[in-house]
Amino acid sequence: MSTIGSHDPGHYFQTDTSLVESDRKQRKAANTKGSPVKFPTKILAVEVNYFFDPSGDVVFLAEASGSVSGLRLSTNEVSAIPRGAQAPLTCLAYHATKTPQDPFTTMQVFAGGWDKSVWNYTFRFAEDTMQGRTVTDYTSFPAHRDFVKCLIVVQTPDKQDILITGGADGDVRFWSIGGQPLGSLNPNCRGIEALALDPLSDPDSPGVMFSTSKKEIFSITVPEVSKIKTSQIQLAGPIVPHETSVYKLHFDDDGDLWTASADKTAKQLSRNDNWQAVLTLEHPDFVRDVVTHDDYGWVLTACRDEEVRVWFKATGDLHHVFSGHYEEVTGLTISNDLLISVSIDGTLRRWSLAPADLQRAVEEMKHPHLLEDEPEPKVDLSMLTKEEEAELRALMESEEQETLEKMVLDEQ
């Protein structure tokens, strides 16, 4: 019997739900909360670059199109950086060198991505001028057998700057700044999600922590370069504060470790209590990032539910929710009193944490006005084709589904 014209309630339910969600996002996209700067593609990471501008006025962004962009926060000027990668870029790190004999600073922006490579964008500029700060060269090197998920620059005890990368292949790998392999380790986990340098560790034995897509957090002590080459790297741990993937690690000024997880929590791990969890912040969905503003005593979290939350660091009480993004929030960074958030909605938004501004935001939240009455920001045409956008969404949803399935397996 023909099924043409038959009524499938599930089919109509999905269609109706999709239409409602599309309409909701379209209406929410018109808001100007956080003074949005619209980019033509999804934004997957953001970091302040103090080498480029010591005042903290410049951030760089890793984008799903394979681009890295620089943005001056005070003017919204976007720097033009050549597009190298042909796949999404997920993480950023910086390095700079200057010698007394050379009036110019050489700065490198590293970006890791889904093409399993690390991209290196090189700038050269004089410190006394903001002119000419454009890319002079860009290169890449194959780094992992799967997506590059995180990377940091660390100085070894013998004063050599190196790059450490973590991949979805479960490897932590060590590289010279020029991209030559130095060594690697595999803690027998599913994938490496985040890397963080312990700011209170001794420079003669720098400590690095990394988290995994299973649930563990490990630590290593970075040796001299010659010992990395002979794989003399000590692995400590694991610490297991979460039920599944730990997406981000952040050290506050006191040296405590803050974590963001797919188990819908952010946690404070106390250095003085052997990294035991002493505070848990509950969320309605995956927590993608966590940072702290220690002068004001805030913890800031990014969630897959599109919101940015402000918590009292001392008590864990929720103080405020910055609402403006209309897709998942993927990253946070702080520059002075500004909290900067980025999202797969393609916008960067800024939220003032200055006491008077934050109090005003709290009061305005008590008397909200309709988002659809606000002027719609200009939206650039996407650099991704519809097919590329669909592929990115499928990849991200596949990764999230994999995380959920792993949670089920871990509970069995």
Is the residue at 205 inside a domain? yes
- Among candidates 80, 47, 33, which has minimal Cα distance to 374? 33
Structure tokens at 52: 């480029």
Is the residue at 8 inside a domain? no
Structure tokens at 178: 């020029």
pLDDT digits (tens, 9 = 90+) for 170-217: 999 999 999 999 999 999 888 999 999 999 999 999 999 999 999 999
Percent above pLDDT 90 for the chain: 68
Is the residue at 6 inside a domain? no
Is the residue at 351 inside a domain? yes
pLDDT digits (tens, 9 = 90+) for 78-134: 987 888 889 999 999 999 987 777 778 889 999 999 999 999 999 888 766 555 577
The CA distance from 235 to 221, in Å, is: 8
Domain carrying residue 232: 32-411
Q: How confident is the model at residue 231 (pLDDT cuts 50, 70, 90)?
A: confident
CATH of the domain at 374: 2.130.10.10
Structure letter (DSSP) for residue 22: H
Is the residue at 81 inside a domain? yes
pLDDT digits (tens, 9 = 90+) for 7-36: 444 444 556 667 776 777 777 787 889 899
pTM score: 0.85
Instruction: Check pLDDT > 90 for residue 269.
Output: yes
Is the residue at 368 inside a domain? yes
Least confident of 18-32, 45-59, 254-268: 18-32
Structure tokens at 319: 């103080």
Instruction: Check pLDDT > 90 for residue 137.
Output: no
pLDDT digits (tens, 9 = 90+) for 297-309: 999 999 999 999 9
* Residues 182 and 191: beta-carbon distance below 8 Å: no
pLDDT digits (tens, 9 = 90+) for 373-405: 444 444 443 445 555 555 566 666 555 555 445
Instruction: Check pLDDT > 50 for residue 318.
Output: yes
Is the residue at 117 inside a domain? yes
Residue with the bigger pLDDT between 56 and 234: it is 56
Domain count of the fold of the chain: 1
* Residues 155 and 163: beta-carbon distance below 8 Å: no
CA dihedral 382, 73, 303, 214 (to 10 degrees): 90
pLDDT digits (tens, 9 = 90+) for 345-380: 999 999 999 999 999 999 988 876 533 444 444 444
Q: Where are the alpha helices (DSSP H) in 29-98?
A: none
Q: What is the pLDDT of residue 132?
A: 54
Give the number of other CB atoms < 10 A from CB of residue 261: 25
Is the residue at 355 inside a domain? yes
Structure tokens at 410: 């871990």
* Residues 172 and 181: beta-carbon distance below 8 Å: no
Give the number of other CB atoms < 10 A from CB of residue 64: 30
The CA distance from 303 to 344, in Å, is: 12
